[in-house]
Amino acid sequence: MSDPVPLIVIGAGPAGLCAAAEATAAGVETLLLDEQTAPGGQIYRAIGRASPERQAILGSDYGRGARLLEVLDSGCLDYRPSASVWQVTPEREVYFTIAGQAQSLRAERIVLASGAMERPMPFPGWTLPGVMGAGAAQTLLKSSGLLPGGGAVLAGSGPLLFLVASQILDAGGRIAALVETTPRGNSMRAMPYLPAMLRMPSYLTKGAVLLARLRRAKAPHFKGAHNLSAQGGKRIEFLRFTAGGRDHDVPCSLLLLHQGVVSNVQITRALGLAHDWKPLPRAWQPRLDPWGGSALEGIAMAGDGGGIFGARAAELQGRLAGLDAAYRLGKLTQAARDAKARSVQRALAAERAARPFLDRLYQPAAEFLNPADETLVCRCEEVTAGQIRGFVKLGCLGPNQAKSFGRAGMGPCQGRVCGLCVSEIIARARGADVQDVGYFRIRPPIKPVTLAELAAMACAGPNDAK
Amino acid sequence: MPIDSPFRRLPDAQARTLAFTFAGRELEAREGDSLAAAILAAGIATTRHTPVSGAPRGPYCMIGLCFECLVEIDGEPNRQACMVEVRDGMRVKAMQGARGLGKGPADE
Amino acid sequence: MQSNYDALIIGGGLHGLSSALHLARAGLKPVVLEKDYPGRHASGVNAGGVRRLGRHKAEIPLSVAAMKLWREIGELTGEDCGFTPCGQVKVAETETEMAGQRARVESLVAQGHGHEELIDAKELRSLVPTIAPHCLGAIVCRDDGAADPFRTAMAFARAARAQGASIQDGARVQSIERRDGLWRAATAQGRFAAPILINCAGAWGGEIAARLGEPVPMRTQAPMLMITERLAPFLEPVLGAAGRALSFKQFSNGTLMIGGGHLGRAEPARNATHLDFAALSRSAQSVLALFPALRGLRVVRAWAGIEGVMPDGIPVIGPSETREGVFHVFGFCAHGFQLGPITGQIVAAWAQKKPMNLPIAPFRIGRFA
């Protein structure tokens, strides 16, 4: 393998772009790998080519992403889009494929900025064609100008659900219904954390504006909905649920689901990093130091991949990780790093203040964490919640045994979609803590790689086979 | 061409029009569309039938995580339609169960 | 102190579980002391080959006897363990390899073993239609096959429990001593005692033997396996190659398993393994040399198990030569799965002081001294 690259940043969302910006500004030669065809991550997807009209629909928060792209002009930056990173080792080798060509590079330092994903929302029928993530619909709007034309139902909870609904309406689309599943007790539990939230008034104003927008549109709005099931033959035909003591069937051609976002832990898990179960957002979080550093020398994480704090926090975390990388690589003095970091750290603390309130307010309902028996939990291998409970009765102690018992998590998505739910179901069925039940051991490659790509790598290794 | 699509295009989507086929049907896309976006825009919800039960599935996450939008592109099976931009003249098919031997990206 | 057991078995892999089952069937009460959970390591994650083909000559009688048990595995364990007699094939790509295979089959036949059979290129192509055209022939064992390793381990565990064996999860052995005619083990799950001790600790078996004052030159290895996405049925038998490190099989669900001894790195003290991508790259090259049509097939998962390997490539099976009441069954050098059903029977015969009707002398622990 050739000389190591000083810094490899994985992911070109706000965290990755900002990490690269700070590092390159300090003169660190940086390689930025991103799986998407254009920079911006999911939050600022297609920001470089969105028309002013589309930016107006998507709002000022989206437009804010444009200035993050300035780093791409840096002479120190080597930006490679459409790069599927399929393995990162503790020895800081990064394996990736671009246009069918696999290669590996060693880095002196790595900043992982692999971001977040929508928390899957399993309930009976959620695998029908025409059922998608609300974030997926937003992606279609950002990158292709596709707008739900009517007949779309949005269901679930969380700020993004309202944001997407409001963007659809602003763009002239229609919503057949907004079906909120936020449990009724959540707001009571969240209230004590409101004062901290009030230090970030922008969140509240934004929320109020969104709700007003929905009221103006007179879209049917159901609250406290439960017993959801998606019904249809070959595709979604209607959403069935109970709300206000009555059963409802709302016809739709598109059902958009959302119940918050969670860290995408595929890379940090494959690296074997320690993760903590956070009972409040009900998600795993890799254990990191204040600079984003992990227990592995030279490997840091920035942004929502290390816990969900949002796009602005991701920028700030990216800056910290970039500054720290520049310092560790000898391009900044410790004093210079600390001086530059001070205002960033203050802003980051302020961004984080909103989370305790939001995490409590939008904690998912139990029926989507520990779904009904007939719900397909592992979409790839078609394993139901009931089957997983059956494995527990046969002695299955955790997710890794669930793979052996019945292939849960062994399909092409490698457990990304079912992982959280499988751990929750086993924990409830065993009466154990999710932390103790654990998570899938994530096996490389973290994205599928063809035999031809693998064979063509053909680099000589120290550990020859017989 | 869109038949009964739950989606419509914003008027600002001015990009060049591209032609591709899905299951033999001639469809239109806009330059920069992911293949999954173009298929959904055409009103098609199902992009594969699973190898486990044969159940129909369509794009779900749109960001390369869920592997529900697997299609065959120009003879190469199991490509993630949400991660590939449409090119003029692409021939695309839904995956029907497990893939066959097909061909690799290097054979194009 | 729990002393109402007849045997302590260290290790809940297939050999320990099979020992427990056979001992329990003989009316004895064994306890399995497993540091993780049954089938956690090599027994649960191996390639699942049920193979007599290509065995070391010393292993052939055991392997042939084990095969009889595999054919009736449902009667032994109460379920089919995913066993299918799909056949095993070992391909020859050169005239030299072909000659070597011919010589092997002739010498086996001379010793009265007819299970390995030489086939020509034409018959190879009828068995494996997609094989590369340069392949000249193969050895086949038509009723060898494959099973599901984790299901097998679970089936043995369930059957052993049903017969009265005790299996203790999370019972890492902290100390072993012999006092007042009993072997006494202190574990994370409490203390256990019995007149006999069976060392079935797999990749950790060398460590146990050393603690008993009988060190052996065992190394640990981490053979790697890869699994691909599902493919329409294209390969019936399990396939290996005379000149390559390759073992290759298609499961009924369509996924392909690729193994054959390409090594990662084992860290037995941490239960951990690490992959070597250069070696996986060579593994992929081997597959494509024999099946060029698989170029575009995607690998979705790779892992490595931890194996104990002896210098002469065959396991340790036999009584201790220094301590009373100890029997060793470990160090299977990455091909112990098929032998699992029979080793338990050997252990049970020894424990009951019955005559040993299988030749186990070549596997004695003292052979390295």
Bridge partners for A111 per DSSP: A9, A300
For C177, counting Cβ atoms within 10 Å of its Cβ (0-12 exposed, 13-18 middle, 19+ buried), the class is: exposed
Q: Residue ranges per domain, chain B?
A: 17-96
Residue from the list A144, A151, A234 with its beta carbon closest to the beta carbon of B37: A144
Q: Which subunits count as partners of chain B given 3+ CB pairs below 8 Å?
A: A, C
- Residue C167, classed as helix, strand or coil, is strand
pLDDT at B107: 42
Residue A445 and residue A187: Cα distance in Å, rounded? 42
CA C241 to chain B, closest CA, distance in angstroms equals 21
pLDDT tens-digit readout, B28-37: 999 999 999 9
Write out the DSSP string of C331-348: --TT--TTTHHHHHHHHH
Residue reference for tokens 């086979």: A465
CB < 8 Å to A130, chain B: 6, 45, 58
DSSP state letter for C156: H
Which H or E element spans position C351? helix C340-351
Write out the DSSP string of A30-51: EEEE-SSSSSSTTTTTTGGG--
B102 touches chain C (CB under 8 A): yes
Residue reference for tokens 């100390």: C175
pLDDT at B108: 38
Averaged pLDDT score across all residues of chain B: 90
CA-only gyration radius of chain C, Å: 21
Residues 73..102 of B with a Cβ closer than 8 Å to A: which? 78, 83, 85
> Nearest-CA residue of chain B relative to C298?
B78
CA B16 to chain A, closest CA, distance in angstroms equals 12
Contact yes or no for C295 and A452 at CB 8 A: yes
Residue B13: band (very low, low, confident or very high) from pLDDT cuts 50, 70, 90: low
Q: Choose among A44, A111, A30, A113: nearest CA to A72.
A: A30
Dihedral of CA atoms A58, A60, A65, A67 in degrees, nearest 10, equals 140
Q: Could you tell me the domains of chain A?
A: 5-117+262-332 (3.50.50.60), 120-259 (3.50.50.60), 370-437 (1.10.10.1100)
Q: Are A275 and A267 in contact (CB under 8 A)?
A: no
pLDDT at C93: 98
Contact yes or no for A466 and C296 at CB 8 A: no
Dihedral of CA atoms C94, C97, C99, C102 in degrees, nearest 10, equals -130
C296 touches chain A (CB under 8 A): yes
CA distances from C134 to C97, C245, C281 (A): 13, 18, 22
| Pair of tokens at residue A108 | 């002196």
Residue A421 and residue A385: Cα distance in Å, rounded? 9
CA A146 to chain B, closest CA, distance in angstroms equals 5
> Nearest-CA residue of chain B relative to A118?
B61
Contact yes or no for A458 and C263 at CB 8 A: no
Residue from the list C130, C229, C295 with its beta carbon closest to the beta carbon of B104: C295
CA C320 to chain A, closest CA, distance in angstroms equals 31
> Nearest-CA residue of chain B relative to C252?
B52
- Residue A463, classed as helix, strand or coil, is coil
pLDDT at A185: 87
Contact yes or no for A143 and B32 at CB 8 A: yes
| Pair of tokens at residue A62 | 């989206």
Close Cβ partners of C87 (under 8 Å, ≥ 6 residues apart):
C127, C140, C141, C142, C143, C144, C145, C236, C237, C238
Q: Could you tell me the domains of chain C?
A: 7-69+149-217+312-368 (3.50.50.60), 88-142+219-309 (3.30.9.10)
CB < 8 Å to A270, chain C: none
CB < 8 Å to C230, chain B: 51, 98-99
| Pair of tokens at residue A405 | 């018992």
Contact yes or no for A451 and C284 at CB 8 A: yes
C251 touches chain A (CB under 8 A): no
Residues 8..27 of B with a Cβ closer than 8 Å to A: which? 8-14
pLDDT beneath 70: ranges in chain A: 1, 200-204, 458-466
Q: Are C43 and C149 in contact (CB under 8 A)?
A: yes
- Residue C184, classed as helix, strand or coil, is strand
pLDDT at C1: 53
Of the residues B30, B61, B78, the best mutation for testing chain A's interface (the one with the most A CB atoms within 10 Å of its CB) is: B61
Residues 200..239 of C with a Cβ closer than 8 Å to A: which? 227-229
pLDDT at A54: 85
CATH tag for B17-96 (out of 1.10.3720.10, 3.10.20.440, 3.40.190.10, 1.10.30.50): 3.10.20.440
CA B78 to chain C, closest CA, distance in angstroms equals 9
Bridge partners for C273 per DSSP: C266
Helices then strands (H, E): number in chain C? 10, 22
Of the residues A10, A121, A144, A413, the best mutation for testing chain B's interface (the one with the most B CB atoms within 10 Å of its CB) is: A144
CB < 8 Å to A466, chain C: 245, 261, 263
Residue from the list C230, C254, C294 with its beta carbon closest to the beta carbon of B101: C294
Q: Choose among C261, C270, C265, C42: nearest CA to C152.
A: C42
pLDDT at A364: 93
**Residuewise pLDDT in 10s, chain C (369 residues):** 556 899 999 999 999 999 999 999 999 999 999 999 999 888 888 889 999 999 999 999 999 999 999 999 999 999 999 999 999 999 999 999 999 999 999 999 999 999 999 999 999 999 999 999 999 999 999 999 999 999 999 999 999 999 999 999 999 999 999 999 999 999 999 999 999 999 999 999 999 999 999 999 999 999 999 999 999 999 999 999 999 999 999 999 999 999 988 999 988 888 888 899 999 999 999 999 999 999 999 999 999 999 999 999 999 999 999 999 999 999 999 999 999 999 999 999 999 999 989 999 999 999 997
Is the pLDDT score of B106 beyond 70? no
Share of chain B above pLDDT 90, in %: 79
Q: Are A333 and A327 in contact (CB under 8 A)?
A: yes
Residue from the list B5, B66, B105 with its beta carbon closest to the beta carbon of A379: B66
Q: Which subunits count as partners of chain C given 3+ CB pairs below 8 Å?
A: A, B
CB < 8 Å to A93, chain C: 277
B78 touches chain C (CB under 8 A): yes
Contact yes or no for C302 and A445 at CB 8 A: yes
Contact yes or no for C39 and A410 at CB 8 A: no
Contact yes or no for A451 and C296 at CB 8 A: yes
CB < 8 Å to A144, chain B: 9, 13, 30, 32-34, 37-38, 41
Contact yes or no for B8 and A147 at CB 8 A: yes
Complex confidence, ipTM? 0.94
| Pair of tokens at residue C195 | 């007149």
> Nearest-CA residue of chain B relative to C130?
B101
pLDDT at C194: 97
> Nearest-CA residue of chain A relative to B46?
A129
CA distances from C50 to A453, C71, C124, C144 (A): 31, 10, 20, 6
pLDDT at C3: 63
